[in-house]
Amino acid sequence: MLFQVYPVLFRIGSILIPAYGAMAALGVVFALLLAQRTARIARLNAGHLWNLCVLALFAALVASRLLLVVANWSDVVRHPSWILSLGMIHHPLLGAVGALAGAACGALYARAAKLPILAAADALAPPLALGLAFEQWGALLAGSGFGVDASKGLPWAVTYTNPFAALWGGAPLDVPLQPVQAYASFGFLALFAFLLLWLPRRRQQGDVAGLWFMGTGVIVYVTEIWRNGVGRGSLFQGAFDGPQIAAVALVLAGGFLLQARAAAPPPQAGREVAAVAPGAAKHG
């Protein structure tokens, strides 16, 4: 049995509501709400963490859309109305640029607000994993980051028939494919649950963030095995694609962070509490 998925969630007159955008927005909402809870667990000012998230999201969206417009500038000049369609395009490079811009903006705000960066990263790790789970489910519906051919009788293969899946995500139509986005979504959900349980049990600031880096790297690397590599770059004659190289970097960064924290002396009693904004501790 082949499952059909639909990139358009519903229509309002002539306006199309894309499934990817709806699922990504839903993931953002749930992640922001969860971040208020994890901020209190990490003994941080929830208001400051909310501001950090909003600014980082805005920076990520602006950076990724600007890159897309610049890369397609000649087409945009000839057809200005196409700028509305650019928002439907998804690519690993856009995600990487957006993530870097968001991280840089978040770090600058944390420094300005005197928010402990490692503690903030710990609080944001579970919400980020949850948001990525929603994003990958939206990618499954949209046909973005589609899987390899599964025409040899995979019972849970997916097939795209809607032309918007080919237009927005580049997915081939009427071809059974591996639902690799679902694999990634389940992986991020498992990572989210683990990090949420581990957050109140962490030994030092940065432990949960390090586990997020490593877990995300493993999920990305493994799921790329079943993902179509068209347009994702390659290295060593196709042995690795672009996201897999990034995944290795994430695992190394997470391992370095965990090792550095393990080598550091244990925090003194009350040291972390002293970094909490006034009034935040009573809500923990």
What is the H or E stretch that residue 19 is in?
helix 19-41
Helix, coil or strand: residue 114: coil
Is the backbone of residue 170 left (phi > 0), alpha (psi -120 to 50) or beta?
left
C-alpha 249: how far from chain center = 16
Q: What is the structure's pLDDT at 278?
A: 45
Q: What is the structure's pLDDT at 147?
A: 94
Q: How far apart are CA 9 and CA 19, in angstroms?
A: 5
What token pair was written down for 257? 């962070």
Q: How far apart are CA 172 and CA 149, in angstroms?
A: 10
Is residue 134 within 8 Å of residue 160, measured between CB atoms?
no
Residues contacting residue 133 through CB under 8 Å, at least 6 positions apart: 27, 185, 186, 188, 189, 192
Q: What is the structure's pLDDT at 273?
A: 43
Q: What is the structure's pLDDT at 17?
A: 78
Reading the chain (284 residues) residue by residue, the pLDDT tens digits are: 445 677 777 777 777 778 888 898 999 999 999 999 999 999 999 999 999 999 999 998 888 878 777 766 676 566 565 555 545 556 667 777 888 999 999 999 999 999 999 999 999 999 999 999 999 999 999 888 999 999 887 889 999 988 888 887 889 999 999 999 999 999 999 999 999 999 999 989 999 999 999 999 999 999 999 999 776 776 766 667 788 888 999 999 999 999 876 665 554 434 444 444 444 444 44
Q: What is the structure's pLDDT at 212?
A: 97
SS (H, E, C) 270-283: CHHHHCCCCCCHHH
Is residue 59 within 8 Å of residue 100, measured between CB atoms?
no
What token pair was written down for 115? 């928010």
Please identify which residue in the block is written with the tokens 């968001």: 102
From the list 219, 223, 221, the residue with the least C-alpha distance to 190 is 219
Dihedral of CA atoms 73, 74, 79, 80 in degrees, nearest 10, equals 30
Strand partners, 4: 159
Residue spans per domain, the chain: 3-277
Is residue 49 within 8 Å of residue 123, measured between CB atoms?
yes
